[in-house]
Amino acid sequence: MTDDESSTRLDMASPTGRRAATIRDVAAHAGVSKSVVSRVLRDEPNVSEERRVRVRAAMDELGYRPNSIARGLSEARSGTVGVVINDLRNPWYVSLLEGLATTFDAVDIAPLLVDSRLDHQVGRDTVETLLSRQVDGLIVVGTTDAPVDVERAARSIPVVLAGTLEPDLSNVDISVDDDVAGARMATEHLLRLGHRRLAHIQGPGMVGTLRRKGFEETIAAQGDGGESVLVEYGGTTEEGGHAAALRLFDAPHPPTAILAYNDMTSLGVMSAADDRGLSIPADLSLIGYDDTRLASLRHISLTSVDNGNFTVGVQAAKFLLQRRERPDSPQRVYRHMPRLVVRRTASAPRVEG
């Protein structure tokens, strides 16, 4: 206390520098104990109104700003969650991130964003770094290249997968869209338009498998059995889509309609069509997936499946918050129902069949 008194006369409000006011300074300035200030800070009830006011005033006068790091140390939490994204350059995750940020903001949690691809390049262990920063949880956005680390992390902190289904662990929640349903909607649309020569450009992983499944099952269930059905692997990139599309065009019975794995590969299909002088949608119908900002650009105007990534992000964040309360609760999966956004790249085929 004695030295508190002496160090109190720093009286901030001055411009540059001076060490920032601490809870102790406020206490001294208001003539109360640290405890009282701490209680006021946390809006605890058991503080007389009079002193509460005094403390608030002191805080203002000193320009006091609570140190959330110190608080975290005491409370054994950091108020941050790690958000691992595999590649920032492919911006399908943007809405998802906004969903996360919005939800976490409300409970005063800050996302620590890391690009695992970048980390990988510099040989840094993404997850380990996050853990040593004491993140209160981990959100894995999209397919990760370090499933083992994720599993390890899940042993000590809540982990949620957003927009991906792997790695599937019993204590890791999942928030995704329903890829089978999304692919079904798109395929139904193409069938209804009258297409009978259809192709799918498949993407990687479980998500890729599910979208393909939705595509094939829908044709099997709703077609007349006479359809020609092609599938080519095209990865996730424009280049992959371009290459896959060219292979499809060269097939004996080239498709009149393509359902691509995502919007990026759709762009590749569009440029392949350009290369071959095929006009979209007159000669070729095309549907993408993700309904990214790309798809909605008028110049592109790509019919696409909206995967509801904002909502998926919100739900992922909620899962994390809930699992923080009950770490051992059983796995929960949220499947968002996607919807088809019809734009200008899909129409009836020029010639039937």
Partner DNA sequence: CTGTTAGCGCTTTCAC
Partner DNA sequence: GTGAAAGCGCTAACAG
Which letter does DSSP use for residue 32 in this model? Answer: S
Out of 221, 293, 333, 353, name the contact with a copy of itself by CB under 8 A.
293
Q: Does 20 bind DNA (CB under 7 A)?
A: yes
Among 8, 10, 12, 41, binds DNA (CB under 7 A): 41
Give the interface segment with DNA, choosing from 27-35, 221-229, 279-287, 326-334 (CB under 7 A): 27-35
- Which of these ranges, 97-105, 189-197, 246-254, 304-312, lies near a copy of itself under the rule CB under 8 A? 97-105
Q: Is 300 in the site for a copy of itself (CB under 8 A)?
A: yes
- In angstroms, what is the C-alpha Rg of the chain? 27
- Give CA–CA dist 87/41, Å, rounded: 40
Smallest distance, DNA to C-beta of residue 28, A: 11
Burial 289-301 (b: 16+ CB within 10 A, else e): bbbbebbeeeebe
Q: Which is nearer to a copy of itself, 36 or 286 (CB)?
A: 286
Please report whether residue 75 would count as binding a copy of itself according to CB under 8 A. no
Residues 53 and 40: their CA atoms lie apart, in Å, by 9
Question: Should residue 23 be labelled a site residue for DNA when binding is judged by CB under 7 A?
Answer: yes
CB of 120 to DNA, least distance (A): 26
Could you report how far apart the first and last alpha carbons of the chain are, in Å?
89
Tokens coding 306: 């909206």
Six-digit token string for 72: 């975290």
The residue count for binding a copy of itself (CB under 8 A) is 58
The single residue among 62, 172, 260, 270 that binds a copy of itself, judged by CB under 8 A, is 270
Contacts of DNA in 48-77 (CB under 7 A): 48, 50-51, 66-67, 70-71, 73-76
How many residues line the site for DNA (CB under 7 A)?
29
| Contact region with a copy of itself (CB under 8 A), list: 64-72, 185-193, 214-222, 333-341 | 64-72
Q: How far apart are CA 308 and CA 173, in angstroms?
A: 18
Of the two residues 66 and 147, which places its CB atom closer to DNA in the complex?
A: 66
Interatomic CA distance for residues 162 and 130, integer angstroms = 18
Tell me the window of 36-44, 77-85, 223-231, 281-289 that interacts with a copy of itself (CB under 8 A): 77-85
Alpha helices in the chain (DSSP H): 2-7, 23-30, 34-41, 49-62, 68-75, 94-106, 116-121, 126-132, 147-154, 179-193, 205-222, 238-249, 263-276, 293-296, 309-325
Site string for a copy of itself, 19-48 (x = CB under 8 A): -x----------------------------
Site membership for a copy of itself, residue 267 (CB under 8 A): yes
Closer to a copy of itself at the Cβ: 79 or 147? 79
Binding flag, residue 68, a copy of itself (CB under 8 A): yes
Interface map 99-118 toward a copy of itself (x if CB under 8 A): --xx--xx---xxxxxx--x
Angle at which helix 23-30 crosses helix 49-62, to 10 degrees, equals: 120
Contact 237, 265 (CB under 8 A): yes
Name the maximum alpha-carbon separation found in the chain: 92
What secondary structure letter does DSSP report for 290? S
Contact 114, 83 (CB under 8 A): yes
The binding site for DNA (CB under 7 A) comprises 1, 19-20, 22-24, 32-36, 38-39, 41-42, 45-48, 50-51, 66-67, 70-71, 73-76
